Chain A
Amino acid sequence: MQRESIVKVVGAVIGKVVSRDIGDASENTALFDDINLDSTSILEVLLGLEDEFRIEIDPDDLDMDSFRTIGSLADYVEARRPLSLGGE
């Protein structure tokens, strides 16, 4: 899966959590300030990403720096995707 597609899925998962379309969001869109996510909804997004990308979220390894923007969240997903899915 290409970076652009990952960002698109991240945006869709966020949209589902906040119950609105964030179609105009970009990699630089700030999760707290622009989308008004709070600490629980960020974690909801993470669990949604876990299902979408079949990645394992380790609650002990959560770094808030990963949750600043849609782009940093996409980085977080890319770093945890199974190698077997890398060419999707």
Chain B
Amino acid sequence: MSVTTLERIESHLPARSIRIDDLAERLSLRPTEIGVFRKIYGLDRLHFDTDLDFFDLLLPAARRALLHLPTDGFVAYVIYAHTVQTVAPPDIDPAQVIKRELGIEGAEAFALNQQACVSSLGAIDLAGTLLRSEAPKGAYALIVTGEQAFSPKIQLIPHSAIMAEGAAACLVTLDGGGDRVRSFVTRTLGQFSAGLLMTNEEIRELGALYAKTLALVISEAIAEAGLRPDDIHLIIPHNVNTITWKQTIKELEIGIDKFFLENIPKVSHCYSSDVFINYTTLLEEKRLVGNGNYVLASVGLGATFGALVVTRKESN
């Protein structure tokens, strides 16, 4: 069977970076709550710019990813993967705008957000399935992620995260020269489907299951890829907070040095873009090794846990 390959991942952050303290009034957070987010949750700075146009956030990474489309290739699918259900006024269909602004013709453009912050990983899986089932040779899918924290209600995830702005794009095809997708595992705990509207009791119940479930999904993805924990070079996680990941790490046979947590205090949680943003940071810092195995992992409100294993392309 053909293998889904990630040909290029790009990301884009708004130029304006602020400290979480600067959001205290907007999010109605007491100084002591900010202290908890800083000292316990490991947050510090994030990118956030209320003056930035939505599509000026989304398009730069997508444009750069498209530069890697070969001359004999074509984009068959534009998939806008997001977390928050409503990201634009009802008369604007972001997937269609992205397609039009990028000058892509003939592609199907649509959005998905059912897995919330795991939607970016779900989009990779879906892109592979669509390309395998119906697309002609030379077809690519362009996945675009990114959204704005346009309201305090979608910026503060109680007891968990302060959301930030960032965008990314991932160019996908079959049997290309890029990173090979080895496995994708998700688990949705539907009893927490209320998401941001969960009661305190539900939040506490989810908190008790979070680390174990995330660890289980990561372990299953590694096993499904035919690998062992020792075979993994790095886990590339979502940036929810530090303490949640440290709790998850305690459930795994993988040392903390294999988790890329360095972006948590720098960019915070950018909805479904984190795994791509973190990937590009590692790429820029030349920390992704040829043929290395990486786990992209995220959790979405709702509550979906997801992990995707890729094997990096060979070094040039």
Contacts and interface: CB of A to CB of B under 8 A. Distances in A.
Asked if A and B bind, the verdict is yes
Interface of A: 17, 32, 38-40, 43-44, 46-48, 57, 59-60, 62
Contacts, number: 40
B158 interface: yes
Nearest to A38: B200
Given A38-B159, A59-B39, A48 B204 contact: no
A57 B35 contact: no
Contact of B159 (A40, A46, A59, A62): A40
Contacts of A40: 33, 36, 158-159
**Chain B interface extent, by class:** 10 to 19
B271 to A, nearest CB: 21
Contact of B242 (A32, A43, A57, A59): A59
B39 A47 contact: yes
A43 B203 contact: no
Contacts of A47: 32, 35-36, 39-40
Contact of B203 (A39, A59, A60, A62): A39
B32 A48 contact: yes
A60 B200 CA distance: 24
Contact of A32 (B30, B32, B204, B243): B204
A17 B159 contact: no
Interface string B101-116: 0000000000000000
A39 B32 contact: no
Interface of B: 30, 32-33, 35-36, 39-40, 42, 158-159, 200, 203-204, 207, 242-243, 246
22 contacts: A32-B204, A38-B158, A38-B200, A38-B203, A38-B204, A39-B159, A39-B207, A40-B33, A40-B36, A43-B40, A44-B33, A44-B35, A44-B36, A47-B32, A47-B39, A57-B39, A57-B40, A59-B39, A59-B42, A59-B242, A59-B243, A60-B246
A17 B33 CA distance: 10
Nearest to B158: A40
Nearest to B37: A40
Given A40-B36, A44-B35, A59-B246, 11 more contacts: A17-B32, A38-B204, A39-B159, A39-B203, A39-B207, A44-B32, A48-B32, A57-B40, A59-B39, A59-B40, A62-B243
Contacts of A38: 158-159, 200, 203-204
Contacts of A59: 39-40, 42, 242-243, 246
Closest 3 CB pairs of A and B: A43-B36, A44-B32, A39-B159
Most B-side CB within 10 Å, residue of A38, A40, A46, A62: A40
Contacts of A48: 32
A24 to B, nearest CB: 23
Contacts of B39: 47, 57, 59
A44 B203 CA distance: 18
B83 to A, nearest CB: 21
A43 B159 CA distance: 10
Contacts of A32: 204
Most A-side CB within 10 Å, residue of B33, B40, B42: B40
